[in-house]
Amino acid sequence: MKAAEFAYARALSVADAVALLAAAAGEAKLIAGGQTLVPLMAMRLARPALLVDIDGIAELNGIAMVGDTLRIGAGTRQAEIERSGLVGREVRLLALAIGHVGHGQIRNRGTIGGSIAHGDPAAELPLVAVTLGATLLTETSAGAGEISARDFYLGPMTTTLPADALITRIDLPIWRGRVGAGFHEMSPRRGDFALAAAAAQVELDGRGRCRRAVIGVGGAAPTPIACADAARLLEGRTLDDTLIAAAASAAAALTEPASDSHGSAEYRRRLTAVLVARALKDAATMARAVP
């Protein structure tokens, strides 16, 4: 199939983009890397009257560390994030996850903002944002706003982002100290969306006990989930196999997986527990290696 007819406008700045969105009164869609929107339009699952192209807006690009925050412009390509030494050093969880997004060719065009705005429940970047409690900075013609990634997702491909809003930046917290991260997913073929995915980050104290932890699960519920109660089980304790297994089962109990041709709901729930345990073990091993 071919896309339905649409008008096209190239925004030259964020102000330009939000003015175009406001004027279109809900009939426009932003296009960034086009890796999701173009196939949806070709299948006529999306039929915007106007495409507002934000791909060339320089102010949406870039990765910078400001204090204990890593700021990533929404238009930054996934491949740039993957190659970034700053991301690799400061937010290891993102560095581990991003190579699982589709294939290299897709990451060359796809943007972090596009993936987070689209909100596929099995997508890696929304999962990292929810797990770490990222802040999404937004802009409309009425002004700037921000929202926690943990409050952003309402259901599959459904978010609280108003139709006239643009995500401009994703702010990720940087953890200092004896910090480790782990990310595991299972997909039918390399590059496919995950059947289930798990993300974890831990910080250890001087005695090797867990000072704080976050756990997130993707692909096993209508939205990515931050498993706060499961992570709390780890605090103040030594991360041994028994404790990790208990936290992994607590995380898996929060899932609401669906059955489909790739696996039953029960399989996905058990898979989630296995993946969370692996992510936590990797995170603990990485943190212990920090002097």
Of the pair 180, 224, the CB lying nearest ligand FAD is at: 224
Choices 7-15, 27-35, 200-208, 247-255; region in contact with ligand FAD by CB under 6 A:
27-35
Nearest distance from residue 114's CB to ligand FAD, in Å?
2
**What angle is formed at CA 43 by the lines to CA 37 and CA 49, rounded to 5 degrees?**
60
Residues 6+ apart with CB under 8 A from 260: none
DSSP conformational letter for 196: E
Nearest Cα neighbor of 132 from 66, 219, 80, 68 is 68
Residues 170-229 that bind ligand FAD (CB under 6 A): 193
Using the rule CB under 6 A, which residue among 24, 76, 102, 164 binds ligand FAD?
102
- The count of other CB atoms within 10 Å of the CB of residue 66 is 9
Nearest distance from residue 165's CB to ligand FAD, in Å?
7
**Backbone region of residue 53 per phi and psi (left: phi > 0; alpha: psi in -120 to 50; beta: other values):** beta
Residues 6+ apart with CB under 8 A from 215: 131, 198, 199, 200, 226, 227, 230, 231, 247, 251, 276, 279, 280
Of the pair 127, 214, the CB lying nearest ligand FAD is at: 127
Angle between helix 265-288 and helix 241-253 axes, rounded to 10 deg: 140
Residues 6+ apart with CB under 8 A from 125: 78, 94, 97, 98, 101, 112, 115, 116
DSSP of 126-178: HHHHHHHT-EEEEEETTEEEEEEGGGTEEETTEES--TT-EEEEEEEEPP-SE
x/- track of binding to ligand FAD for residues 127-166 (CB under 6 A): ---------------------------------------x
Q: Number of residues in contact with ligand FAD, rule: CB under 6 A?
A: 29
Residues 44-83 that bind ligand FAD (CB under 6 A): 74
Nearest distance from residue 11's CB to ligand FAD, in Å?
11
Using the rule CB under 6 A, which residue among 123, 244, 247, 284 binds ligand FAD?
123
Choices 7-15, 106-114, 206-214, 252-260; region in contact with ligand FAD by CB under 6 A:
106-114
Nearest distance from residue 55's CB to ligand FAD, in Å?
8
Residue 33 engages ligand FAD in binding (rule: CB under 6 A): yes
CB 209 within 8 A of CB 237: yes
Using the rule CB under 6 A, which residue among 11, 21, 118, 277 binds ligand FAD?
118
Nearest distance from residue 192's CB to ligand FAD, in Å?
6
Q: Which helix (H) or strand (E) holds 287?
A: helix 265-288
Residue 114 engages ligand FAD in binding (rule: CB under 6 A): yes
CB 54 within 8 A of CB 30: yes
Residue 169 engages ligand FAD in binding (rule: CB under 6 A): no
Of the pair 105, 238, the CB lying nearest ligand FAD is at: 105
Nearest distance from residue 76's CB to ligand FAD, in Å?
10
Q: Which residues bind ligand FAD (CB under 6 A)?
A: 29-37, 39, 74, 101-102, 106, 109-111, 113-115, 117-118, 120, 123-125, 166-167, 193
